[in-house]
Amino acid sequence: MKPLIAIVICTVLAYACNRPDFPHSAKLDIALKYARDNVSELEKVIDHYSKDAKDSLKLQAALFLIENMPGKGYFKYSPRDNRGITSYQVFRGELGIDSINVLKSKYEDSMNCGEIRYVNPVFVEDLQIIRAPQIIENIEYAFRAWEMPWAKSLTFSQFKELILPYRVNDEPLQKWRKYFFENSGWIFKLAGNTHDRLKLASVVNDSLKKGYRYIHGEISYFPGTFTLAELKCTKGGRCEDLNMLLGYWLRAIGVPLTREYTSYWANTNWGGHSWLSILDSTGKFVPMNAVYDNPRRDSLPFHDEKLIKAYRNQYEINNFSSPGSFVRKPVTDITTEYIDATDYTFVYHHEDTTRTYISVLNGPYWKPFVTETVIQGDSTVFKNIGTGALYATIQLRGDTFHRTIRAPFLLTKTGKVQPLMMRKDTSVTVSFDLSLVRVDLYKKRCRVIYWDEDLQDWSAGNEIKVLTIDPNQVIKQKKHAAITFNGLPGGTMYKLVDADYFPYARFGGRPFIFNEEERQYMRY
């Protein structure tokens, strides 16, 4: 089979390159190579828009989609139980995730087959499965959306990046644009005569709130992104699933949008988040959370989560000239559009600093994130990281992050670096503001754990106390109350945890440190 595929690719490329009217570029050559035996479908699209000079702009749109399609696709998973591949259809009907999971559990119990899980991911390349009619339909209806009053002012470059793409993220390939466009009358009926993109986005989001919600733990057995049909069954999904649904509706009517994300929050233990951002009439992007928070100018819809790094996905792939040299999901660092950020310079006398990363505490351990890095001799400069958060530099050894290099540090709101160097020869008293501790610790035996740089892990203090004051009441009555612990090493990070649940308790809660600028213990 492989020799036949090679013959097809070479024949098509030779045919294309020898035609004077056939568009030619290095990026197109790469895309056609990646398409393998699906290359004829891409050629059909190019031929379709090459026949009439009036379609020259649509031809450019087609080339934009095809040239930047390498790396676009989705992960396909296999449903398995203890017996192997299962034929049981988990996502069916319009039952909602709770009923779906009840039926799933009943089936697993009745068949004594163990839990059904989706495993063995296989990446499916769009280039190798997409068909010409789908690309053509997407282009035709995208151009119709561009004619909407609120979209007419978009440049062709903005249109290509924010309206034209046929996918929002890594969802399975779907034909959606025609249906959403032709069934969008309800949006205009609710929105009235507005041409405000943010108002239109809010109308759609408010409607979706009535039928969908965020779910995560309930679908832990399914690591992929839902299709529209699966989302209709579950009545909810992760942020990526909800972004897809909202994004399809908005792009279908010409509201320009992009996907943005952060890999990790700086003050939680549950990873990061992705959201949509609308390009408003002033040229600024305004973020929104699908089925939750509508877009508001000069406002971030992240509630109490601490953003320290933000990225914007783009469809266009830049700076590659050969297969394998592109990034599968090209991104732009947009941190400074949303928050105050500064550079951090790390000096490390080592023969190899290229495997040194900046990381944030998310969960019990340090998680590396991507940022622009400049290496100058022994100095590594990490560009544009958010202030008011805890960080550590970590070293990559092999394929794993081995350990932190030197002590973690607090980057204060003013940009000052406060090292968190554990001092075992110093005994301190740590005070926890009860309005900031976990409410589930009420009436439980509590102890303090602290970050031990030598062990690269959390160690437990000796003192144990029962939390006798209800944190909920402290919050409700807006009064000050604290619990203190003695005999702890100074200068490091501290967590208040359930004493009877250690060492597993290190996965919960957030650390307190003594902020030298504020002169008090604060939670991060």
Q: Are both 143 and 206 inside the same structural domain? A: yes
Distance of alpha carbon 508 from alpha carbon 505, whole angstroms: 6
Q: Does residue 81 fall inside a structural domain?
A: no
β-strand partners of 341: 386
Q: How many CB atoms lie within 10 A of CB 510?
A: 19
Name, in order, each residue with C-beta under 8 angstroms of 226's C-beta and a sequence gap of 6 or more. 91, 171, 234, 237, 241, 244
If one counts the domains in the chain, the total is 3
Q: Do 189 and 132 lie in a common domain?
A: yes
CA 326 – CA 14 distance, rounded (Å): 24
The phi and psi torsions of 46 (rounded to 5 degrees) equal: -65, -45
Closest C-alpha to 363, from 272, 228, 432, 437: 272
Residues 64 and 210 in one domain: yes
Domain co-membership, 123 together with 60: yes
Q: Which helix (H) or strand (E) covers residue 117, if one does?
A: strand 117-125
Q: How far apart are CA 346 and CA 240, in angstroms?
A: 35
Q: How far apart are CA 382 and CA 53, in angstroms?
A: 49
Neighbouring C-beta atoms of residue 83, cutoff 10 Å: 10
* Phi-psi sector, 129: left (phi>0), alpha (psi -120 to 50), beta: alpha
How far, in Å, CA of 122 to CA of 362, rounded? 28
In a domain, 278, yes or no: no
Provide the pLDDT confidence category of residue 508 given band limits of 50, 70 and 90. confident
Please report whether residue 6 resides in a domain: no
| Token pair of 256 as six digits | 């320009």
Full residue range of the structural domain in which residue 510 is found: 428-523
Closest by CA to 258, choosing from 281, 239, 286, 236, is 286
Query: Are 345 and 206 in a shared domain?
Result: no
Q: Are residues 411 and 440 in the same domain?
A: no
Please check the confidence at residue 301 and state whether its pLDDT lies above 80. Answer: yes
Domain-terminating residue out of 402, 419, 436: 419
Indicate if 131 and 52 belong to the same structural domain.
Answer: yes
In a domain, 453, yes or no: yes
Q: Record the tokens describing residue 363, joined without a space.
A: 């969960």
Give residue 396's pLDDT: 75
Q: What pLDDT is attached to residue 348?
A: 79
- Judgement on whether residues 43 and 183 belong to the same structural domain of the protein: yes
Which of residues 225, 256, 287 is at a domain's end? 256
Q: Which amino acid is at 42?
A: L
Is the model's pLDDT at 54 over the cut of 50? yes
Per the domain annotation, does 496 fall within a domain?
Answer: yes
Q: Is residue 455 part of a domain?
A: yes
Same domain, 141 and 179: yes
Mean pLDDT, residues 135-154: 98
Q: Residue 23: how many CB atoms within 10 A of its CB?
A: 16
Q: What is the pLDDT of residues 396-450, one digit of tens each?
A: 766 666 688 889 999 999 999 999 999 999 999 999 999 999 999 999 999 999 9
Same domain? 202 vs 344: no
For 442-478, the pLDDT digits (tens) are 999 999 999 999 998 999 999 999 999 999 999 999 9
Q: How many C-beta atoms lie closer than 10 Å to residue 479's C-beta?
A: 11
Asked if the model's pLDDT at residue 15 lies above 70, the reply is no
Burial label for 376, CB within 10 Å (0-12, 13-18, 19+), is: exposed
Structure tokens at 321: 């000239």
pLDDT of residue 401: 63
CB 417 within 8 A of CB 429: no
Q: What is the pLDDT of residue 400?
A: 65
**Residues across the chain:** 524
Tell whether 38 and 185 lie within a shared domain: yes
Q: Are residues 412 and 432 in the same domain?
A: no
pLDDT at residue 4, rounded to an integer: 37
Give the domain-ending residue among 256, 285, 319.
256
Q: Is residue 447 part of a domain?
A: yes
| Structure confidence by residue, pLDDT tens digits, 263-279 | 999 999 989 999 999 99
**110 part of a folded domain:** no
